[in-house]
Structure 1
Amino acid sequence: MIFYTGLTRSNLESFLHCTTPTVKSKFLPKSEIRNLNRLWHPWERENVEYFTLSDLWSSYDEWSAYGAGVPIVLNDDENLVQYYVPYLSAIQIFTSNSPVREETDSLSDLGSYESESDKLWRSDGCSSEDGGSEQDSVWYVNNRLGCLYFEYFERSTPYGRVPLTDKIKGSCGRYPGLMSLRSVDLSPASWMAVSWYPIYHIPMARSIKDLSTCFLTYHTLSSSFQDMDPDNDDVEGVRKEGDGISLPPFGLATYKMQGDVWVSGNCGMDRDKVASLLSVADSWLKQLRVQHHDFNYFTGTRRG
């Protein structure tokens, strides 16, 4: 067991670093780059890096089985490692192709409620501000978001859940795309949220309230966000196939954060970072008009 001894990361940064998946990657053949959806991949790129969803789930295998160890430092400079188990909290996967009817009909069988994206497409929010017809506007929204292939929103209590990889394995028989789809096949609206619940810490220290803190991290599943910076070619040029793609969270929510263990670092900037990530997560859910049960529970939000 190696304990955290450096001071280069705060406790919050340590959590984000230790729970961020790095997925084995490949570069798309040049013959396929021209076929990418230009609404989702607007930048002209020499190389396009991607990962498969099967490799993404594999990056959670060890964490799902044993927990992810997060080295933290307490106020009295005591070092310990807190372990967290990941659970699939929510996911929406949008692709270019329409799902077959039987897959659409069976979404509710997996515990998700009515398709939030369908609500969006049918809502008044689809009306065009440019004076176009409602049909044209719906077409644009559908093509921009893509077609909903799979969604899941966990509503069970933490004790009734199975770890993330077990949940995926239980769904991939009906939805083989959960293994075969690539990040370049997914629209920018594709995302997942992972809930992290603490299980134990080593060494077993005294009871500390903040060690019961739960986290909710939001991650994009699409390669389109990797192309947001067209000036990033220098970085891409030194990367090799298989180096891996890191998927740090773009949003975050916390539950039972009662002290300052997680937000006392970086001269107060960690507290601001938590607030900023929470705001981004909230904005993301509102933009997609999604009711995310765990987010509402973590934040005490009541939405109609």
Structure 2
Amino acid sequence: MAGRGRRFAARGAPVRWCNLERFLEATTPVVASNCSSKESVNCWRQSDADDPLPFFILGDLWDAFRECSAYGTAVPIVLNGCTDGIVQYYVPNLSAIQLYGRFRRHIGPSRTSARESDSDYCQDTVSEEASDLEHDTSSSTNAFPFQETSESSCSEVSSDDGESHEQLLFEFLETEPPYQREPLADKISSLAKRFPELKTLRSCDLSPTSWISVAWQYY
């Protein structure tokens, strides 16, 4: 495996770094952040603080993987502590993703009306997309855009000033073997045709429960 990489002089690399640290440095995406007031975040906000909330757009995150999806990411590897090493190339694949939205119900005199409003929001969010985004059972992958769940199935976390509820917005689980998977940028473009919000959602629109798994394949 090591013999296929391009050789390089490792003397300029930080001596304290191990190969894992070099890999993380080369493959960690860098995405520009923005700031949003709590009013613009609306019911998705995770805090009532007045400070601006930093966020990034998912489309910018996927763009950060575009070049390495096409050409691979160069990772310098040092062998046996030698001063010379090799450069190996890795391509990112999307292994799995779950996106959860989060909204808060405030406890107070208007609790009943707020509950009805949030219920309508939860159901409308699902119904707007679910009717046009049916799962293709013949596909080799599992993608469930806007999981159609009732309000009672939303994950709930209580707090002193209100109740937080989570809604599964999108789920994808790759089932293809690694050597048959599309590069991450290509896979996202394909999934976004059925779920365009993959490129427009903001990180502040999502619950911390959301997660993404990226596999880096050596070639």
Distance 1:28 1:52 in 2: 12
Following superposition of structure 1 onto structure 2, how do residues 151-190 of structure 1 map, counting pairs within 5 Å? 151-190=171-210
Equivalent pair of 1:110/1:152 in contact (CA under 8 Å):
no
3-state SS in 2 of match to 1:22:
coil
| Among candidates 59, 63, 71, match of residue 68 of structure 2 | 63
Q: Which amino acid aligns with 1:23?
A: V
Change (3 A) 1:84 1:94: same
Q: Which amino acid aligns with 2:203?
A: S
CA shift for structure 1 position 79 = 1.6
Q: How many residues align?
A: 181
| Among candidates 129, 148, 161, match of residue 168 of structure 2 | 148
- For 2:30, the equivalent position in structure 1 comes to 22
State the TM-score, normalized to the length of structure 1: 0.52
Q: Which amino acid aligns with 1:163?
A: P
CA shift for structure 1 position 71 = 1.2
Q: Which amino acid aligns with 1:159?
A: Y
CA shift for structure 1 position 168 = 0.5
* Larger CA Rg, structure 1 vs 2: 2
The percent of aligned pairs where both chains have the same amino acid is 38
Equivalent pair of 2:38/2:49 in contact (CA under 8 Å):
no
Distance 1:136 1:30 in 2: 27
3-state SS in 1 of match to 2:207:
coil
Distance 1:53 1:144 in 2: 23
CA shift for structure 1 position 45 = 5.0
3-state SS in 1 of match to 2:186:
helix
**RMSD, aligned α-carbons:** 3.2
CA shift for structure 1 position 138 = 5.6
**1:1-40 per-position Cα deviation (integer Å, ceiling 9, x unaligned):** 975422142111111111111112211146425x2535xx
3-state SS in 1 of match to 2:142:
coil
**Larger relative CO (CA 8 A, sep 6+): 1 or 2?**
2
- For 2:3, the equivalent position in structure 1 comes to none
3-state SS in 1 of match to 2:170:
strand
- For 2:142, the equivalent position in structure 1 comes to 112
CA shift for structure 1 position 157 = 1.1
Following superposition of structure 1 onto structure 2, how do residues 223-238 of structure 1 map, counting pairs within 5 Å? none
Distance 2:200 2:140 in 1: 19
- For 1:249, the equivalent position in structure 2 comes to none
3-state SS in 2 of match to 1:162:
coil
Distance 1:21 1:165 in 2: 13
4+ residue runs of structure 1 moved beyond 3 angstroms? 1-4, 107-110, 135-139
Equivalent pair of 1:144/1:187 in contact (CA under 8 Å):
no
Equivalent pair of 2:98/2:211 in contact (CA under 8 Å):
yes
- For 2:58, the equivalent position in structure 1 comes to 53
**1:161-200 per-position Cα deviation (integer Å, ceiling 9, x unaligned):** 110000001111111101111111111111110011111x
Which structure 1 residue ranges, 5 or more long, are not aligned? 123-134, 200-304
Distance 1:148 1:136 in 2: 12
| Among candidates 100, 104, 118, match of residue 94 of structure 1 | 100
Change (3 A) 1:194 1:42: same
3-state SS in 1 of match to 2:209:
coil
Distance 1:195 1:67 in 2: 13
Following superposition of structure 1 onto structure 2, how do residues 1-304 of structure 1 map, counting pairs within 5 Å? 4=10, 5-6=12-13, 7-29=15-37, 31-33=39-41, 35-38=42-45, 41-42=46-47, 44=49, 46-77=51-82, 78-96=84-102, 97=122, 98-99=125-126, 100-102=129-131, 105-106=134-135, 109=139, 111-112=141-142, 140=156, 144=164, 146-199=166-219
Distance 1:163 1:80 in 2: 23
